[in-house]
Structure formats: C-alpha cells, structure tokens
Structure 1
C-alpha cells in the first residue's frame, strides 16, 4: 500500500452505518471519521479511517460476484487476531463484521501500522548495512512465523495440514479454470505436470501465502518488521511454500519491485540466495532445502492463477485498482516462466 487517495464513487461506503458499527465494536473509538482509500492492490479494497484521536485500516471484500473461497477477509482477521497476542508483528485487530448490510460486504478493522512500506527490493538510497538489516529482518520474521505453534495459538483447524502442495495445485487449477479467458499452452502443460511431481511434505506451519517486501511495514528507523500485511492466502501448510516464494526475488529481474536477480549482492549488502537459505535454515532448524526449481514453477503457476483472476474481474468490472489491467497483461509471461522452471526440474 503506497499512499491514499479520495474514495472513488464505486468504492464509497455508508459512513453513517460504518460509524455506528465502529462505535459499537471498536474499543476506544470516537468519531467523526474521514475515509480515504489506499492506492494499489487488486484484491481486497483497503481504506484508511482517520478520527480526531486515532487512525485505523479497513479491509473489505470487493463488491460484486466473487470466486469461491477468494477474498476471505474473515480468515485474514482470524489469523492476525491469533498471532497478535504472541508478539508476532501484525497490526492490532479491532473487529470483524460479517453483516454485509453495514457497508455492502464483509470487512474487518485493524490498527494503522505507521512505518516504512518498501517496494523496490534493491532498496535504492540505502547503505549496505541498512539493506542487510532489512533482508535479515524479512528472513527472521518469516522464520518466526514458521516456528509459531499453530495449535497453541488456536489455529489447529485453520487448514488441512497434510498434502499442502497437492491441494494447492488443485485449488489454483480450479481457480484458473474458473477465470480462464483464453488458452495458454504452458498453463495446460503445468496443470498436467505439477500434480504428478509434488515433493513430499516434511513440516506443517502457518503459511502466509504472499510473503514479499511490499506486504510488510518496517519500523521508521530500525531494521525491524512491525506488521506483516495481506493474510488473504494464509492457511496451514508446508513452510517451504512461503520460503520458496520469498526466494523468487533472487530469480526475478529487478524492475522496481521485489526482484533482485543479477545484482551485486556483496556491494549492495543484500544476502545472496545461498546466504538467505543458510540464515532461514539456522533459524528453523533445517539442514538445508531441496532443489528449488519445482517450487519456483509452482509459485509462478499460482501467480498465474491469481493474476488470471484479476484479468477475469476486469471483464466482470470488479477489479479494484487502476493497475489491474497492466497486472493482467502479465499472465502469458508468468505461465512461460513457470514452465521454464518446470523444465529445469525435469519436465519435458
């Protein structure tokens, strides 16, 4: 989320009904409210709520038809509410509203984490020590999530623990097919190959599902994550799904987003992929990680499904961002890249 803008007409909320709900459900709330919308993000529209004494964030489901199991803001709220008391860095959860009559869709309210929201993985303008600190903080925070006992925090039933990748491949195949707008040969090949080559699962943890630099708020000055955002895709599963997704940064071109492929890591202070693996493994008690090419292929296939969903919502008129059209244009390239890593993993 980068900055806010006035709320577009199509995204306006009933401020009177919302204020009434906040007054009844959010401890310490005192209006009046001023609403703005965060820029960016094609999934769950996100608003800033300012009051004379405090600021909050509201995330809601999109208006209009939704794909099955998508835009699960109730799950986002549940996992953050479970993690917050443990000290894991999430925004303070204030309340979940499942009554769609209040603003027209399900939503939840959390505290505003005031800090740095970074987008460019090369961290321009930072010193090598500052970059190193940010990367170590991201790795250590992910390790802390995967080390969290999901049973003791009340998330034993947050997802099916076993056969994670098998179920995820099936899910994203189904999601892709539900939003398919054209035939892409690489996707068809991936749909056939991935289920036959799923690696064995050795561990179960809370999985964030979209762990990347721009889904975190960093302390204004310290190299420390103060809030991990956007838990829509979280579940129980194989922690290697999260970690391999994070490692995609090292095989993605640096185009102003999270990719750092080919940069001079030593000069910049960014750990190499091997050093990132070493730090994560030390923090989680692993001796190493398996060959990553299957995982990279899977992650890109999953991204293909997510972005195809955005493309379909453009057709349906429910996409939530001005960047949605440009994002949707990435589908063929994502599919080709996914198949490239599949071939490196042995597909033919």
Structure 2
C-alpha cells in the first residue's frame, strides 16, 4: 500500500539507487507532454511507495512521475500502465483523478516504464479524527469522501473504456482465493483463525449484485482535499484497483469504525460525537442513499473479509522484510499485527454465523 508523504510536497534528493538520466526524461517530456518547458529539476517524494514517485519542477509548473522500481519484478507487479489507464479513464468521466500527461512503456528512457501526471496541491489527512480541521468542517470532509466513492461506483465502466479492466463476476471468490494463496506463500507461523477464515469465507460470500471500478485501498489518506474547501480534488494510489463488488470497496473504508485506534487509527471506543465525526450508521446511510440501496445487511461478512485481506497483506510485507533483515524492528511489529487481525476477522465471521 503505497503512500505519498503527508504534505504531498515533502521531498528529498533522489536516492542513488533510484536515480535516472534527467536529460533523457526532459527530452521525452519535450516530445510528449503538452506545454512542457524546462529546465527540469527532479526530487523524490519521501515515504515508502512501492512505485518510486518523483516531483518534477519547472519554472512554470510541477508534475509527478511514477515508475516501476528498477530490478527484477513479478510480471504483474507494479503495473504503472494500469494506474495510468484507470486514472486517465476516470478523469475523462469527471472523477477527481490527477490529470495524466503521458505514459512511457519504453524502458530505454529512464530504465523502467513510467507515467507523468499533474502535481495536485491540497490537503492530505493522516489522522481520521481530523484534529487540524475545525469541528464544523469535519462532517463535510467525510461526506465528500462518501460522495466521491459513490461517484466512482456509479461510473459506467464500459462507457469509460474499462470493460476489460478486470473480470466482472465472482469478485469475492477470486479475491479470497488470491489472498489465501498469498498468505500461504508468506506464512511464517500457524494462525488457526486464518486457517478457519480461508475455509469459511468462500462459502459465506454474499451474491455479487453489482460490478463497478473498485479502488481497492480507499481511505481518507489516499485523497487530496481542496486547500480550503471540504472537497476531494484527487484520489491517489490505484495499484489495487480492478472491476469488482463496490460493497467490498465501501466496507474496506468502513473498517475504520470497527478497528481500535492502534490499528490504522481506528475509531473503536472513541466518542465520535465529541470529535464531530459521523457515526458508522450515518456514513452507511449516506452511501446507501447515494447508490440506491436499502442497506448493507451482510456487514459482519464484509468486515471479516476485509480484515482477513489486510492480515494477508501485512503477513506478506512481514515475510518479505524478514527475508531482507530478520532483525528489522518494523518487520517484527508488523508480524505482531497478524494474529490480532486474524482474531478480529474471525470474531466478525462468528457474528456472521461461522
């Protein structure tokens, strides 16, 4: 789950391992980016993006470059062409995605495939309680987040040219299979709750009623808000996007209301009224009204699925980190999160009848 620095403008000098021929890039941009005029200055965004991300400054404009990491990669990993494709298509449908200036699949230019998009100035909120925002604006920020996701799920993906962006049916079956395999491949110890979830989830999945573009990692800190207004002006980080069940996407964000504060800043046990943050019921009702639903009766299944998926992702990060450095403190902390996540997912599964 990649992340751009909390200010989105926090940069550093380009790491030696991620440097490239800036002259070759400037020449490519001169040929391929309308309005580009050098000289070009390149810096690297701080943070641990899986796809290295750079800020490109010129006297008149700033851009963002996202590239595949150098080195040997899995064939389907770090698919910057998919990111470029979905943001370009959605932007053309009026969705708040950064403007795409160009995609380069020629590895000869900077060593890997890359794309160039607009640099969007605005606010990224890292704390879901929004302490930096006046109380009377907080509900409006959450409502904008809700409306933006409903807008995404309402886009006609065929008309947007995304009819082949993923398989249209059996989303949960495919996702549960994918994350089960990834978990098994990265498994470092037996976790009985994960074993039970892998067995129970496939036969408990609700029937998929709708298909839409799903973001796959939709949460507040993957959005850029207008500098002064409670309005989403760009949604970032589309690496996990595909065609799927919109309720999986919505309930992924909704997990924040049922997770404890120590797990990704969850709201469990927090007096939301005191912080002027909408309740889960209010958030669900707003989404259902916008998407013409009577309600979401299978919430316990969706939470079990989403927390299981998160546990699988965390286990994969932990296993990869261990391979690189068995004493890595951050990896050890990640490893400790898998069992509590699995236990949390299984408790929701039991609520759903497991």
Q: Would the TM-score normalized by the shorter structure come out above 0.5?
A: yes
C-alpha distance in 1 between matches for 2:28 and 2:335 = 35
Unmatched 5+ stretches in structure 1: none
Report deviation, 1:226. Answer: 0.2
Partner of 1:58: 65
CA gap 1:184/1:9 in 2 versus in 1, 3 angstroms? farther
The correspondence of residues 1-348 of structure 1 with structure 2, limited to 5 A, is 1=4, 2=6, 3-67=10-74, 69-255=76-262, 257-315=264-322, 317=324, 326-327=333-334, 330-347=337-354
CA deviations on 1:246-296 (whole Å, 9 max, x unpaired) are: 101101223495522222222322110000010001111111112211111
Whether the aligned pair in 1 keeps the contact of 2:63 and 2:116 (CA below 8 Å) is yes
C-alpha distance in 1 between matches for 2:150 and 2:21 = 41
Please give the secondary structure, in 2, of the residue aligned with 1:153. Answer: coil
Report deviation, 1:329. Answer: 5.0
Whether the aligned pair in 1 keeps the contact of 2:25 and 2:109 (CA below 8 Å) is yes
Whether the aligned pair in 2 keeps the contact of 1:128 and 1:267 (CA below 8 Å) is no
C-alpha distance in 2 between matches for 1:183 and 1:14 = 47
Report deviation, 1:86. Answer: 1.8
CA gap 1:63/1:193 in 2 versus in 1, 3 angstroms? farther
C-alpha distance in 2 between matches for 1:188 and 1:70 = 26
Larger CA deviation: 229-238 vs 6-15: 6-15
Whether the aligned pair in 2 keeps the contact of 1:119 and 1:256 (CA below 8 Å) is no
Q: TM-score, structure 2 length as denominator? A: 0.90
C-alpha distance in 2 between matches for 1:175 and 1:101 = 32
Larger CA deviation: 100-109 vs 78-87: 100-109
Instruction: Work out the number of aligned pairs and report it.
Output: 344
C-alpha distance in 2 between matches for 1:307 and 1:173 = 13
C-alpha distance in 1 between matches for 2:169 and 2:213 = 12
